[in-house]
Structure 1
Amino acid sequence: MIFNSIDFLIFLPIVFILYWQLKNNINLQNLFIVVVSYIFYGWWDYRFLFLISFTSLCSFYSGIMIDYYQSDKSKKRLIAICNILINIGILAVFKYYNFFIQSLSYILLQFGIHLDFITINIILPVGISFYTFQALSYTIDVYRGDIKASHNIISFFAYISFFPQLVAGPIERSTNLLPQFSSIRTFKYETAIDGLRQMLWGFFKKIVVADNCAAGVNHVFAEIDSLDSISLFYGALMFSMQIYGDFSGYSDIAIGTSKIFGIKLMRNFNYPYFSRDIAEFWRKWHISLTTWFRDYLYIPMGGSRYGKLKSIKNTLIIFLTSGLWHGANWTFLLWGAYHALLFIPLLITNKNRKHLAGIAEHSILPSFKELIQMTTTFILVLMGWIIFRAENIGIAIKYYNRMFTNFELTLPEYGKTALIWIIIMLVAEWLQRDKQHTLQIENSIQNKYIRHFIYYAIISIIIIFQGETAQFIFFQF
């Protein structure tokens, strides 16, 4: 089931009404969440319900065993490692097996060694990287002692399978989400209304911005050989906005939906295209994943505690791992390496934490310096998205080659409507950059009639100007 579907528009109000009828019984409420989450996930392919159930069971019982052997460090460590290997093993088989086998076969062939490896025709379970990382964070948190192991299997299954963020995040920490399934949740009107506003903006970004960009992007990447540099640059711009509208839109819908159920999820995007350097971009883009790698990989490897060389090595590993997390393709590894090469100079010069504070909230326009910094950072990110979107490295190289050699001053005929919605989105988000989400406007617009006009206008735009329905990009990860 996808958010931008009639099925979900029917599913959500029914679930909402029944959920709050059970508000006096937290166990029934949690059980209800598990049931509807499994219905939501099984809507794609019910066979993969076994996989998420197995992941949940392994993590649940390993947590109890780790807790039981707290005084025996060797047993505790062994249990944690076994569960981590099980989870990573499942992910590796379903997502990476064919990629590694084919890559190894190709490398051996270059040395004249021909071996017939067996590949497997596997359907990639939707969202497997997201819920696997969420399960891994729980095991690691229990092992570290950051959280006590859950002994309530229902609340734990709810933590792993909570449907708003099940298939594309945010990737939650057990320390934040799991305790919320162990405490009474009360309906708060203001929070629910705020959640609906955030959902509305998420639908606008996905249905109007991302889906309208998608047609132009697909056209450009299918016709690279016949397009000029301006058209190719425009196509890269369209994809930059498509992936942002698609993924941040999903996150807004997920976070907003969670609010109406009394659950608070972590923020996943903080207006990343207003970043002044690559380091700031990565503090604002897919926050739940970047902080996951920081907390569970970068810091345990030593982080930046042992000198610049060690920091550079750890940073490179993080970016390559992040690239591979996105998919089993050399393009994703190259994309990760590209961002590492952009980030490492900032690390060497101690400028990677230069822009911790946001651009002054009271300024209507950025300063000239900030405008140059934001434009430069955006163009660098845009160039990286070409690698991310290309089917293989050869296509990415061809795209760059034609983009920088085939200069013609012709304006593309596609995507002009999408450009209007992109501008509206960026202007609105710039003006609201100090808020958690763009439609958090009750303080900045006091007149409720103006606010309601804005809400109804957005609803009308979504209905009238929706693009061709497309699945969320990050479902494939």
Structure 2
Amino acid sequence: MVFSSLIFLYVFFPLALCLYYLSPKTLKNFVLFVISLIFYAWGEPVYIVIMIFSTVFDYINGVLIDKYKNKKIIRKVLFIQSIIINLAILGFFKYYGFVVDNINTIFHLDIEVETLPLPIGISFYTFQTMSYVIDVYLGKVRAEKNIIAFGAYITMFPQLVAGPIVKYSDIEQSLHDRKVTFDRFGEGMELFIRGLALKVLLANNIGLLWVSVKTTPLDELTILTAWTGIIAFAFQIYFDFRGYSAMAQGLGKMIGFDFPENFNYPYISKSVTEFWRGWHISLGSWFREYVYIPLGGNRAGILQQLRNLFIVWFLTGLWHGASWNFVIWGLYFGLLITLEKVFLLKYLKGCFPIIAHVYTLCIILIGWVFFEFDHLSVAIGYIGTMFGVNQSILLDNTTLYYLTTNCLLFIISVFCSTPFPKRLLEQMIGNTKWLGAIGTPIFYVILAVLSTAYLVNDTYNPFLYFRF
């Protein structure tokens, strides 16, 4: 079940909220835990066993690590076993087939691979539970003694499927003492509707254009069609993931939690480094805090810093999927960020902003090609078409059709990728209070109605980050 589905919007969500609000304060975590398990079991009823195991296993580890805080060896054994088991579960379900396929290729074997469905959200909740155990081990937080509260933290349905990755310290206090006011609920509802509109009205519609371009044979693509297609994909994945993150944040506020921001207008960046400070912020923070800094960060000289960056970006790519194209995508950005750290950033800061911005967008779009195509040869062929090395023509009638029929959608997508809509709305509300009091509810009702109408009449409603 995804948030942008009619069954969630008009059945599960209203029932879940009613049950949650009607329950007494002492039972809210239990109700949230049960609702979250039902939400998860809706799509993967078998894999709920894995989630419950991870919850109980790391709850026990956290309690024991905290109990034996003066027993260094026992604490270390508990910590290591927790990390190994969590990574083993993630590795088996996500990377088992990938490893076997590569063994078959390298050693010319024919080991059969049984295709296993990927448990929904396993990459997100595994990192979440690992961060908890690590923080308890390092003494950053005390172990959670209430297993129901801990279960609510791990399984919490608003951010279970696609994040943001929430550290225990982010919501520790809210797990035991939270309050939802009318204003807070309204803020959460606005966030949710904005996210829904981004996902349904923008990501889904512009994604249809990308599907048309992607399924066109490479030798039939023109240069401008190739660029149009990958720009469409860039908008699709941004509004898809940003919209889902906003919906998660909105749902969190409606039940009393503040989740961290996951996007900060990455497409207005003037360097790749800046882009990754604004894209999937919770994942970047996780790797920085739990991988990059423990490896030494930038404290041990340039060579070790470059090694640490290589490891982090290799893992970032691999986290996104069990395929070499994701690894290449991660290393591609790792290399560019390294070059920026070494010398490129000072030139970017000294040149005209438009040049730095165009450079960044070109780098990002090329990266999305590696991200989207499973086969390296196809990705390289597509990039070749973008730059005219495959003897492609500049444009044809199909290109003109794509551009004319999607012109307004591209303009709206560009506009919504910047802070201007938010600033404009805030300015209008600030300057004219009556307009905000009357116009704001009408605006969000219109967005909700349009999103619902689209979902009723259209069957194209993918969620790209389900596969991660």
TM-score by length of 2: 0.92
Q: How many Å apart are 1:217 and its aligned residue?
A: 1.3
Q: How much has 1:102 moved relative to structure 2?
A: 1.1
Distance 1:237 1:177 in 2: 36
Secondary structure of residue in 1 paired with 2:257: coil
- Corresponding position: 1:260 with 2:254: yes
- Whether 2:418 is the aligned partner of 1:430: answer yes
| Letter paired with 1:78 | V
Identity rate of aligned residues, in percent? Answer: 35
Specify which of 394, 398, 412 is matched with residue 377 of structure 2.
394
Q: 1:414 to 1:434 in 2, by over 3 A?
A: closer
TM-superposition CA deviations, 1:285-322 (whole Å, max 9, x none):
00000000000000000000011111111111111100
- How far, CA to CA, are the matches of 1:125 and 1:337 in structure 2? 26
The equivalent residue for 1:179 is 173
Give the 3 Å change call, closer, same or farther, for CA 444–241 of structure 1 in structure 2.
Answer: farther
Which residue is 2:283 aligned to? 289
> Structure 1 or 2: larger helix share?
2
Q: Give the Cα–Cα distance (whole angstroms) in 2 for the partners of residues 439 and 421 of structure 1.
A: 23
Query: Which structure 1 residue ranges, 5 or more long, are not aligned?
Result: 109-113, 356-367
Query: What is the 5 A alignment of 1:147-296?
Result: 147-183=141-177, 185-225=178-218, 226-296=220-290
Aligned to 1:130: 124
Question: Helix, strand or coil: the match of 1:349?
Answer: helix
- CA distance in structure 2 between the partners assigned to 1:440 and 1:19 by the alignment: 35
Q: Deviations over 1:312-348 (max 9, x none)?
A: 1111111110000000000000101110121011211
Partner of 1:15: 16
Letter in structure 2 aligned against 1:5: S
User: Contact 1:445–1:451 at 8 Å: present in 2 too?
Assistant: no
CA distance in 2, matches of 1:340, 1:209: 30
Given that 2:202 and 2:239 are in contact with CA atoms closer than 8 Å, whether structure 1 keeps it comes out as yes
| 2:451 aligned partner | 462
The 5-angstrom pairing of residues 86-101 of structure 1 reads 86-101=85-100
> Following TM superposition, by how much is the alpha carbon of 1:394 offset from its aligned partner in structure 2, in angstroms?
1.6
Instruction: Look up the SS of the partner of 2:43 in the other structure.
Output: coil
User: Residue 343 of structure 2 corresponds to which residue in structure 1?
Assistant: 349
Which whole-Å CA distance do the structure 2 matches of 1:149 and 1:163 have between them?
Answer: 22
Does the residue aligned with 2:289 lie in a helix, a strand or coil?
helix
Alignment size in residue pairs: 457
Q: Which amino acid aligns with 1:12?
A: F
CA apart distance, 1:425: 4.1
Provide the C-alpha distance between the structure 1 equivalents of 2:155 and 2:66, rounded to a whole number of angstroms: 22
Alignment partners' CA distance in 2, 1:61 and 1:462: 43
Q: Distance in 2 between matches of 1:289 and 1:297?
A: 11
**Structure 1 residue 401, shift from structure 2 partner:** 2.1
Structure 1, residues 172-208: CA drift from partner, whole Å, max 9, x if none?
Answer: 001112332122x222111111111111111111101
Q: Deviations along 1:341-396, whole A, 9 cap, x unmatched?
A: 210112113849x98xxxxxxxxxxxx93333223212210110011110211211
How many Å apart are 1:429 and its aligned residue? 4.9
Correspondence for 1:377 among 360, 363, 368: 360
2-side partners of 1:45 and 1:194: how far apart? 31
- What amino acid sits opposite 2:8 in the alignment? F
Aligned partner letter, 1:371: I
Deviation at 1:413, TM superposition (A): 2.6
| 2:207 match: secondary structure | helix
- Which SS does the other structure have where 1:103 is aligned? helix
Per-residue CA deviations over 1:236-269 (Å, capped at 9, x if unaligned) read 0000000001000000000011111111101100
Which letter does structure 1 place at the counterpart of 2:254?
Answer: I
Could you tell me how far 1:119 is from its partner in structure 2? 2.0
Q: Is the 1:211–1:468 contact (alpha carbons within 8 Å) kept by the matching residues of 2?
A: no
User: Quick one: which amino acid aligns to residue 448 of structure 2?
Assistant: I
1:415: how far off? 7.1
In the alignment, is the contact (CA less than 8 A) between 1:269 and 1:285 conserved in 2?
yes
CA RMSD of superposed structures (Å): 2.4
Q: Distance in 2 between matches of 1:300 and 1:346?
A: 22
1:42 counterpart residue number: 41
What is the CA-CA distance between 1:442 and the residue it aligns to?
4.2
Return closer, same or farther for 1:239/1:438 CA change in 2, 3 Å cut-off: farther
SS state at 1:123 partner: coil
Give the Cα–Cα distance (whole angstroms) in 2 for the partners of residues 100 and 223 of structure 1: 31
Moved more, 285-294 or 35-44: 35-44
State how far apart, in whole Å, the 2-side matches of 1:445 and 1:293 are.
44
Q: Is the 8 A contact 2:271 2:345 kept in 1?
A: no
The answer to whether the 8 Å contact 1:212/1:415 transfers is: no
Q: Which amino acid aligns with 1:248?
A: R
- Supply the distance in 2 between the matched residues of 1:67 and 1:195 (Cα, whole angstroms): 35
Give 2:161's aligned amino acid.
V
Within 2, Cα distance between the matches of 1:424 and 1:261?
32
Give the counterpart letter for 1:219 in structure 2: S
Deviation at 1:460, TM superposition (A): 4.4
Question: Scaled by the length of structure 1, what TM-score is found?
Answer: 0.90
> Aligned partners of 1:259 and 1:456: how far apart in 2?
19
**Secondary structure, aligned partner of 1:46:** coil
Show the counterpart of 2:101.
Answer: 102
Is the 2:415–2:421 contact (alpha carbons within 8 Å) kept by the matching residues of 1? Answer: no
Note if 1:338 corresponds to 2:339.
no
Shift of 1:62: 0.5
Aligned partners of 1:397, 1:58: CA distance in 2, in Å? 44
CA contact (8 A) 2:306 2:338 kept: yes
Measured after TM superposition, the shift of residue 14 of structure 1 is 1.7
- Indicate the residue corresponding to 1:420 in structure 2: 408
